[in-house]
Structure 1
Amino acid sequence: MSDPAIFLLLLGLLLSLLAMGVWVAISLTIMALAALVFFSNAPQGLVLATTLWGHSHSWPLAALPLFILMGEILLRSRLSQDMFSGLAPWLGRVPGRLLHVNVLGCAIFAAVSGSSAATAATIGRMSVPELTKRGYPEHLILGTLAGSATLGLLIPPSIILIVYGVATEQSIARLFVAGILPGIMLVSLFAGYVMFSAWRNPSDFPAEEITLPFRAKLRASRRLIPVLLLIGGVIGTIYTGVASPTDAAAVGVVLATILALSSGGFGWEQFKEALMSSTRTSCMIAFILLGAAFLAISMGFTGIPRHLAEWIATFNLSPYALLAVLTVFFIVLGCFLDGISVVVLTTSIILPMVEAVGIDPLWFGIYLVLVVEMSQITPPVGFNLFVIQGLTGINILRVARAALPFFFLLLFGTLLITIFPQIVTFLPDAMNN
């Protein structure tokens, strides 16, 4: 049996298990065991035991639960209420006005949560009722929230970048720094689209409200200052090399706790909720990563990734052609799986093909996150769409239709980093110099 046929057989097994509702981690482990038993001579029990033990203690991976805990703590603080009151006074004269609260609010919260779903839930809970009450167009309220919430996957500290870094043995610090400029690029694209919509259909937007004097704006924004300092401190210490991502995450948890306590409304009960929620999320991701590590090792024993890479090389695909094919593949896969599962399922098989055509694995990590962001607002399993549907009660197809322009903006962003890879690589290269 040829290697492509074996790969398709194993992929069919995996998809069947997932369709039956088997957990992703267990599905990956079963697929890996089947590959070892039927297509290699390796001792299955020994490989399983050594892989699980060797990958169950990873210092870079320790940053993951810490960043998740930091986001959960701030999620339960008064950050969301403070964000609207802090940003709104500055946006009165900008075309699109308060709709930019969704874009900028998601960007700020993405930098402290690392989660797309948490960003959509937190900002949406605060902004949707307020913007609806003020008469902003529904499709732009929903679209800006769905699209901008995907920034939680890219703007550091990003949970999915930690997962990619651990799965591919890339520097998490360099991945974090590589995500900064693409994140700013997407914020600019989203804000530009809102401004264009306001210019094209000014009658759809409510009349301008009374603007506050400069000092009043500063007073309204004072609660945002500690959060911005927290973000700058965490990312700045990583960029300058003062702290590793894990060290910065630990400091971030301490500072987030102090910030939440000082803002009021955060006590022991909220801290316990944050601790339990972050533990559940971290355990889920850890089990998936263990299954993915076992799959990567088993694929190595079978030689399938190497042979697949050689087989694809016979088609003489250019890097651009391969990326075009992979973009369609990831978007389709993301219609049925969450972002983390997409990353851990594919990296061990896709990365050898990518490296074979000369694509930088660091750049590919940011590209992969951008494509996964698209899947977060693509039916039927767009997690952001479900979150917003739960918040608003609006039919998921209406939410998906509102998010469609932002899907194309993400696609355009992917095209930009492909044509101009320096958007991704400039800061990591400067970090090393």
Structure 2
Amino acid sequence: MVSGPGLSPGLILAFMAIGTPIALAFLAANVIGAWYFMGGQNGIIQMLNNGFGALSSFNLVPIPLFLLMGELFFRTGMGMKMFNAIDQLMGKVPGRLSYVTVVGGTGFSTLSGSSMGSTALMGSLLVPEMERRGYKKHMAIGPILGTGGLAIIIPPSALAVLLATLAKIDIGALLIAGILPGLVLACLYIATIWIHTRIDPSAAPNYELEPVPLKQKLMLILTDILPMISVMVLIVALMLMGFATPSEAAAFGALGAMVLAFIFRCMTWEAFKLSVTGALKVTLMAYLIVFGSATFSQLLAFSGASSGLIQWATSFDLAPVLMLLAMFAVLLVLGTFMEQISIMMLTVPFFFPLAQVLGFDPIWFGIIVLLALEISFSTPPLGLLLFVMKGVAPKGTTMREIYAAAIPYILCSMLLVALLIAFPAIATWLPGMIN
């Protein structure tokens, strides 16, 4: 039989190689590992007790509430109201629709919390319109792929809550830490579009646009933008000022989305049912992942795999920044053939203890991990958002065109990682205000 530290990871990879879903692969490997390392039947009982104990954590409450909030904004059409308002407010500028994609997509990603959902929606609505206006493929597809990934780091992010839960770090601090990096990334995207329009004006040709009166602009801001953004601001403000925990802030967010839906008279029974069903499906998957990860972490500690890896990694006597880049590279490589939650389940039990030994701030390191997941979401050839875009893009769009459109925005994210390494305060300043 396989020796100690390599047994569980080896079993997981073996189960995945034969097509077993990642969550079931973890559970199966955990059962076998618990039987082998922890005393047979008693070990399995202890593993199950620890797994159900992890599920009873109050820290998991924000996940279904944030998901419900995002589903309500999506199913009731309130997210698109905000997007259309930003479209009308932008005015006549070169590459206007690309800018609208970044500005509106950032807001929509913030409200939805779902990269795949926002990418699918914006891709199906905006790419055909931009192509009709004469935009080149990279100007239409690239900004959507970039802003779809912003949902991972800008709160409320269900993936950030899940990462903080698995890594046992402060959920509220990690959510707030993503605000400044997310805004910096959005600004880098805007700069990329500006450079494209300067180098090749024909990439986003101007077209006639009916002017919007000032009074109508003010009404759009007051009725279609401020109410939606106020929900996100409320969530962040409640956590930032210490008035609410992440769970309570998430509850206010879901309640706020529901109240707005009733105010705008777009809440229907069908929209509510679809919102609850969508949130429930993802929540059940997330809870199964937490169960598997909790038992996996315990098994790694019991078998000596975690301590063995830390001793092996630190024996190379490399500078901490080189170890960080090595872990970042591993996340990117895994992202080319695995989805993000699976990557977290495999790497968090190893990477966060190692980061602690190396002296990294856990919140700062969590943002680095989320950025790596965001980059891998759109990294050729198998990034998940690339295939989402292929599914909703106009007929005739090739994967090569989608790959080419994604690369400048991947480079923007890489630049942000470099800025975070050089200036950690970008991620740690706002969480420090809470303390």
Partner of 2:65: 66
Q: CA deviation at 1:214?
A: 2.6
Contact 2:8/2:33 (<8 A) preserved: yes
Q: Which AA in structure 2 matches 1:419? A: A
Partner of 2:358: 357
Question: Does residue 397 of the first structure (1) align with residue 395 of the second (2)?
Answer: no
Question: Does residue 77 of the first structure (1) align with residue 76 of the second (2)?
Answer: yes
Matches within 5 A, 1:264-283: 264-283=265-284
Question: Does residue 309 of the first structure (1) align with residue 310 of the second (2)?
Answer: yes
CA spacing shift, 1:124–1:260, aligned 2, 3 Å: farther
Contact 2:94/2:204 (<8 A) preserved: no
Query: Could you give the per-residue CA deviations for residues 296-321 of structure 1, whole angstroms, max 9, x where no partner exists?
Result: 01111112111210111110111111
Corresponding residue to 2:415 among 406, 412, 415: 412
Q: Which AA in structure 1 matches 2:146? A: G
**Following the alignment from structure 1 to structure 2, what is the Cα–Cα distance between the partners of residues 239 and 362?**
15
Contact 2:94/2:205 (<8 A) preserved: no
**Following the alignment from structure 1 to structure 2, what is the Cα–Cα distance between the partners of residues 132 and 238?**
42
TM-score by length of 2: 0.93
Partner of 1:30: 28
**Following the alignment from structure 2 to structure 1, what is the Cα–Cα distance between the partners of residues 12 and 233?**
42
Partner of 1:385: 386
Q: Which AA in structure 2 matches 1:162? A: V
RMSD (Å) for aligned C-alpha atoms: 2.0
Q: CA deviation at 1:93?
A: 4.7
CA spacing shift, 1:372–1:248, aligned 2, 3 Å: same
CA spacing shift, 1:13–1:162, aligned 2, 3 Å: same
Q: Which AA in structure 1 matches 2:9? A: L
Q: CA deviation at 1:208?
A: 5.1
**Following the alignment from structure 1 to structure 2, what is the Cα–Cα distance between the partners of residues 193 and 380?**
22
Residue segments in structure 1 that go unaligned for 5+ positions in a row: none
**Following the alignment from structure 2 to structure 1, what is the Cα–Cα distance between the partners of residues 57 and 206?**
54
SS in 2 for 1:18: helix
Contact 1:78/1:264 (<8 A) preserved: no
Contact 2:69/2:111 (<8 A) preserved: yes
**Following the alignment from structure 2 to structure 1, what is the Cα–Cα distance between the partners of residues 203 and 347?**
43
Q: CA deviation at 1:161?
A: 1.0
Q: Which AA in structure 2 matches 1:134? A: R
Query: Could you give the per-residue CA deviations for residues 328-369 of structure 1, whole angstroms, max 9, x where no partner exists?
Result: 110111112211221122111121211111111111110000
Query: Could you give the per-residue CA deviations for residues 2-60 of structure 1, whole angstroms, max 9, x where no partner exists?
Result: 9xx75555433322212322121221122233433445658422222211221121111
Partner of 2:256: 255
**Following the alignment from structure 1 to structure 2, what is the Cα–Cα distance between the partners of residues 80 and 164?**
26
* Stretch deviating more after TM superposition (183-192 or 127-136): 127-136
Q: Which AA in structure 2 matches 1:158? A: S
Partner of 1:219: 219
Partner of 1:235: 236
Partner of 1:193: 192
Partner of 1:14: 12
SS in 2 for 1:284: helix
Query: Could you give the per-residue CA deviations for residues 137-163 of structure 1, whole angstroms, max 9, x where no partner exists?
Result: 221211110111000100001111101
Query: Could you give the per-residue CA deviations for residues 352-405 of structure 1, whole angstroms, max 9, x where no partner exists?
Result: 211111111111110000000011102444221122111114333321221111
Contact 2:34/2:44 (<8 A) preserved: no
Partner of 2:118: 119
SS in 1 for 2:27: helix
Contact 1:111/1:231 (<8 A) preserved: yes
SS in 1 for 2:220: helix
Q: CA deviation at 1:63?
A: 0.8
Q: CA deviation at 1:124?
A: 2.5
* Stretch deviating more after TM superposition (100-109 or 219-228): 219-228
Q: CA deviation at 1:172?
A: 0.8
**Following the alignment from structure 2 to structure 1, what is the Cα–Cα distance between the partners of residues 359 and 405?**
37
CA spacing shift, 1:289–1:235, aligned 2, 3 Å: same
Matches within 5 A, 1:119-198: 119-198=118-197
Partner of 2:429: 426
**Following the alignment from structure 1 to structure 2, what is the Cα–Cα distance between the partners of residues 127 and 314?**
51
TM-score by length of 1: 0.94
* Stretch deviating more after TM superposition (362-371 or 211-220): 211-220
**Following the alignment from structure 1 to structure 2, what is the Cα–Cα distance between the partners of residues 133 and 184?**
30
**Following the alignment from structure 2 to structure 1, what is the Cα–Cα distance between the partners of residues 401 and 6?**
35
Q: Which AA in structure 1 matches 2:280? A: T
